[in-house]
Amino acid sequence: MVGLGPAGCAVANFLARLGLEVVAIDRSTEAQLSTRLRIGESLPPDAKHLLKQLDVWQNFEAANHEKCYGNQAYWHSDKPTFHDFMKHPQGHGWHIDRAEFEQMLRDKAKNLGVAIHADTSIGELVRDGDIWQVSLKNNDLCPAPREFSFVIDATGRQSWVARKLAIERLYESEQLALVAFLQTGQDLKDSTSLVETVENGWWYSAKIPNGRVATAFMFDPRQQQKTVTAGVENWQSLLAQSQHTAKRLAGLNNACEYELLAPPKIVAADSGILQQVYGEGWLAVGDAAMTYDPIASHGLMMSMVSARDAAGAINGLVNGRDDTMKMYAQRMCESFMQYCELRRAFYRA
Ligand SMILES: Cc1cc2nc3c(=O)[nH]c(=O)nc-3n(C[C@H](O)[C@H](O)[C@H](O)COP(=O)(O)OP(=O)(O)OC[C@H]3O[C@@H](n4cnc5c(N)ncnc54)[C@H](O)[C@@H]3O)c2cc1C
């Protein structure tokens, strides 16, 4: 299994519990995995069910995640619309400490017997009859090819394995995000996710644990490639063009008491799906298989749902069924089509 993000950890967890032997690698070092700042932190109330299936619910509940009671949006309007989670049967959602969340999933996989290798990437990947000959690049691991019966691509938007196999990605939309994490002097009182449209894109901000705030400015690269850069001054001037986001970050007394935790970064935020999410001896899960627009706040959930479905499909294959991979692909395709409908309706509005 390649990639130890939420999708990779979740699929390793489900497979290990089905009694299958899993080797999981990630090119990031242990230190990078446990400290990296990553955007993607809103979990809806429905996540509780999946976290229970992954048997991490108690650890999740005991951790330092922020409760989130809903979303508010100034979507081409000065009047906000609210999506109140308190009306949801499961109650509130969360703004998670992403590093802690991923650590919890990795620890669980390790406890279930998954062999985890950080700081490791694939050198060669060759299909030889029914097996993969894989050489791993890592100082401590033998570079000689090792044999695997199945390879899972959980490398996020990179889709590293699928790309290596020349599988193309189909795009529903092109979008980039200018992402920045802030340390605030005073805690934001408001726990909702805030979305606001501006002339050339839209802003997202959310309070995350430890007095931090995650922000992202979403824009269309075809129109804004030259005007949006990762420089701090550019980020500040874009923020100044917003109304509600800038006001929220300035705090109650307009003191602007925050500092950037790291330089702003431009990341991909497009929607797309692999032309083929599985093939002979491989499949893709999570962002490697398909990506959602951040407006949906659904990437983490989708990663874990696809991981559960992928594990079921692989288990079916191991037990001699020849239809489970096809069913997995059909489910992925259907949920992507449904998502595209919703996304279009949302942007039309
Ligand atoms: C701006 C923005 C905002 C978002 N907001 C939200 C949100 O609020 N809520 C939400 O649910 N989702 C959100 N998402 C989406 C969410 O972050 C992703 O869906 C989620 O991270 C996908 O998990 P994953 O495990 O599939 O991939 P990733 O988390 O990207 O993990 C991939 C892993 O693979 C490793 N890797 C990559 N290439 C290789 C290689 N060649 N060899 C070895 N290892 C490799 C990486 O180091 C990484 O650990 C957002 C996304 C963006 C861009």
Instruction: Judge if the beta carbon of residue 303 lies within 6 A of ligand 1.
Output: yes
Q: What is d(CA 14, CA 51) in angstroms, rounded to the nearest whole number?
A: 12
Task: For residue range 279-329, list pLDDT tens digits in order.
Answer: 999 999 999 999 999 988 889 999 999 999 999 999 999 999 989 999 999
If you average pLDDT over every residue of the chain, what do you get?
A: 91
Q: What is d(CA 64, CA 62) in angstroms, rounded to the nearest whole number?
A: 7
Max mean pLDDT range (10-24, 34-48, 143-157): 10-24
Residue 109 vs residue 187, higher pLDDT: 109
Do 87 and 93 meet the contact criterion of CB atoms below 8 Å apart?
A: no
CA of 144 to the centre of ligand 1 (A): 29
Instruction: Judge if the beta carbon of residue 201 lies within 6 A of ligand 1.
Output: no
Residue 252 has a pLDDT of: 46
Instruction: Judge if the beta carbon of residue 158 lies within 6 A of ligand 1.
Output: yes
Do 137 and 125 meet the contact criterion of CB atoms below 8 Å apart?
A: no
Residue 254 has pLDDT above 60, yes or no: no
Task: For residue range 167-182, list pLDDT tens digits in order.
Answer: 999 998 889 999 999 9
Mean pLDDT over residues 230-253, rounded?
A: 87
Residue 224's pLDDT band (cuts 50, 70, 90): confident
Span 175-268: which CATH code?
3.30.9.100
Residues 6+ apart with CB under 8 A from 280: 127
Residue 122 has pLDDT above 60, yes or no: yes
Residue 256 has a pLDDT of: 59
Residue 142 has pLDDT above 70, yes or no: no
Residue 17 has pLDDT above 70, yes or no: yes
Mean pLDDT over residues 82-106, rounded?
A: 87
Do 38 and 71 meet the contact criterion of CB atoms below 8 Å apart?
A: no
Residue 314 has a pLDDT of: 98
Instruction: Judge if the beta carbon of residue 307 lies within 6 A of ligand 1.
Output: no
Q: What is d(CA 123, CA 25) in angstroms, rounded to the nearest whole number?
A: 12
Please classify residue 222 by burial: count the beta carbons closer than 10 Å to its beta carbon, then call 0-12 exposed, 13-18 middle and 19+ buried. Answer: exposed
Residue 251 has pLDDT above 90, yes or no: no
Pocket test for ligand 1, best of 23, 287, 291, 295 (most atoms within 8 A of CB): 287
Ligand 1: residue whose CA is nearest its atom 41: 160
Residue 227 has a pLDDT of: 84
Residue 135 vs residue 10, higher pLDDT: 10
Furthest-apart CA atoms within the chain: distance in Å: 67
Please classify residue 86 by burial: count the beta carbons closer than 10 Å to its beta carbon, then call 0-12 exposed, 13-18 middle and 19+ buried. Answer: exposed
Domain spans of the chain?
A: 6-41+97-172+270-348, 175-268
Mean pLDDT over residues 62-69, rounded?
A: 91
Domain 6-41+97-172+270-348 fold: FAD/NAD(P)-binding domain (3.50.50)
Ligand 1: residue whose CA is nearest its atom 4: 40
CA of 305 to the centre of ligand 1 (A): 14
Mean pLDDT over residues 11-34, rounded?
A: 96
Percent of the chain with pLDDT over 90: 73
Mean pLDDT over residues 265-281, rounded?
A: 96
